[in-house]
Structure formats: structure tokens, C-alpha cells
Amino acid sequence: MIDQSRLWDADAASSYDTPGEGMFAPEVLGPTVARLAALAAGGPALELAIGTGRVAIPLHEAGVPVTGIELSEAMIARLREKVTADEIPVVSGDMTTAAAGTGFSLAYLVFNTIANLLTQEEQVACFRNAARHLAPGGCFVVELWVPQLRSLAPGHGGTVEVSEPGYLLVDTYDTLAQQVISHHVRFDPAVDGGREARIGRTPHRYVWPAELDLMAQLAGFRLEERWADWDRSAFTVDSRSHVSVYRLTEGTA
């Protein structure tokens, strides 16, 4: 089994934040934080895999008390450079088992992170752990990409997801195991014609929305809403990602 804490080491933590750009861009973070704050409805929130605080810090600044769970000590250290433990407490541990209290109005898991759990059993355990933390009627929000198997050409096991100057992302699929390896190729086109490159690889287990809904049911949730993005745009057959809101059913917590 791959040790996820080794993947998210000091090097990954130091290069994770891209202020104002990419997933840190205001047009990405703004709708995310606004929607999560509305779902928290004045109560406290728990972020599973809080990372360096990309979402937690602006959500805290919006007035929502946030607690986190994080496996990577390096990511926690980066978070601590920005906020104190009094402002955003974090429990070090696995999001499938770590305990950070009870009575939360909202638990959330963003930016495809549930796919970092590489077995179906772990992903179900994550739902159950979220349920243990929530108050009755609380909600669990999951942001996840939709597997792009339709992009696979016959006889080929990979797709080019991003191609831009200095960066190439190639995903290779094992459709029997529902595994994806993302190959991140970074290079400087201005140096020696871009011949030297740095390659990083991250493993994932992809999940169809229907399978995710069944995991939720096993943990006592029901699907309340599903959008294509945080702007609440409609989820369709062509959507490449989704934001799913699950509500804890009566008597589960």
C-alpha cells in the first residue's frame, strides 16, 4: 500500500500554494467558500485533508469555525506558517479514522481528495468517519472529478489532461482496479529546449457518482444536491466534475 504521507512531503508542501492562481484563484476560491459558509449555516465545519489551508483559512476569515484533519505533517507545518492552532485546530491523522470532535454542522472534502484513498473500503470508511463528526442533520460535501474514460482511445490506457508551456499532465488508467496514475511533467522550455524535465506521479482511485452515492447511503447519508461546480451550475452527462452535498439522515449521528 502506498504511504500517502510520503507523497505529500516537505517538497510537495513547499510548492503546493499558488497564491492568486490555479486553485487559489479568487474566482475558484470565492464560490467555494461562499457555498460552504452557507451550508455550515452558522455552525462549525470540519475539513478532511485540510492541507495548507487553501479553503479553511478563507472560510475561517468568513466567520466559520474550522477544524481540520490532515495526514501530512509537512502540510500542517505549512498551514501553521499562516494561522495558529487556536485559530484553526488540526488533528494529525488519517481522514478515515482520526477523531476531531463531534457536533459539526458541516464536513467537507474538496479538490478530488477522496480519490487519494486507494480502496473502496477506505473511501467508505471516510464517509463513516465524516458521519461520526456531524450533528444530526449535518451535511458532508465532496468535490470530485468524473472519470474521463470516454476520452480513452481504443487500445490506449492514457489521456493527456493538460498540455501547456512548462507542464504536461498525463493520466493512465487501470480500469479493472479503478486506479489512475497522474503523471505530472514539469520543464522549462527556455532551458536547453526543455529537454530536462521533472516527473511526479500521484495515484488515485476513481469513483463514479453512483458509487459515491452508495457509499454515502452505507454511512447514513442521502444525496441532497449535486452541481457541476461551486456556482451551482447543473450537473450533466458532459460535466467533468461535481460537487455533491449529502445530508445525514435522522438518527444516524
What integer pLDDT is reported at residue 62 of this predicted model?
A: 97
Q: Are residues 102 and 191 in the same domain?
A: no
Q: How confident is the model over 164-203, as pLDDT tens digits?
A: 888 999 999 999 999 999 998 888 888 877 778 888 888 9
**Is residue 253 a part of any domain in this protein?**
no
Q: How confident is the model over 55-68, as pLDDT tens digits?
A: 999 999 999 999 99
**What is the residue whose three cell numbers read 447519508?**
221
Q: Are residues 17 and 109 in the same domain?
A: yes
What integer pLDDT is reported at residue 227 of this predicted model?
A: 98
Checking if the pLDDT of 2 tops 70, the result is no
**Is residue 105 a part of any domain in this protein?**
yes
Q: Are residues 169 and 68 in the same domain?
A: no
Q: Are residues 133 and 54 in the same domain?
A: yes
Checking if the pLDDT of 13 tops 70, the result is no
**Is residue 100 a part of any domain in this protein?**
yes
Q: Are residues 129 and 160 in the same domain?
A: no
Burial class of 72 by CB neighbour count within 10 A (0 to 12, 13 to 18, 19+): buried
pTM: 0.89
Q: Are residues 64 and 50 in the same domain?
A: yes
Q: Are residues 224 and 201 in the same domain?
A: no
Q: Are residues 49 and 33 in the same domain?
A: yes
Total domains, the chain: 2
Q: Are residues 139 and 156 in the same domain?
A: no
Q: State the pairing for strand pair 66-70/90-92.
A: parallel
Task: Show Cβ contacts of residue 36 under 8 Å, excluding neighbours closer than 6 positions.
Answer: 45, 55, 59, 64, 106, 108, 141
Q: How confident is the model over 217-240, as pLDDT tens digits?
A: 999 999 999 999 999 999 999 999
Task: Show Cβ contacts of residue 71 under 8 Å, excluding neighbours closer than 6 positions.
Answer: 4, 5, 8, 49, 92, 93, 94, 95
Q: Are residues 172 and 237 in the same domain?
A: no
Q: Are residues 66 and 170 in the same domain?
A: no
**Is residue 121 a part of any domain in this protein?**
yes
* Residue among 48, 4, 237, 7 at smallest CA distance from 143: 48
Checking if the pLDDT of 1 tops 70, the result is no
Checking if the pLDDT of 22 tops 80, the result is no
Structural domain containing residue 195: 149-205
Spatial strand order in the sheet of 221-227: 90-92, 66-70, 45-48, 104-109, 134-145, 241-248, 221-227
Q: Are residues 170 and 237 in the same domain?
A: no
CATH assignment at residue 51:
3.40.50.150
Distance CA 199, CA 167 (A): 10
What integer pLDDT is reported at residue 155 of this predicted model?
A: 81
Checking if the pLDDT of 253 tops 90, the result is no
What integer pLDDT is reported at residue 211 of this predicted model?
A: 97
Checking if the pLDDT of 5 tops 80, the result is no
Q: How confident is the model over 96-117, as pLDDT tens digits?
A: 999 999 999 999 999 999 999 9
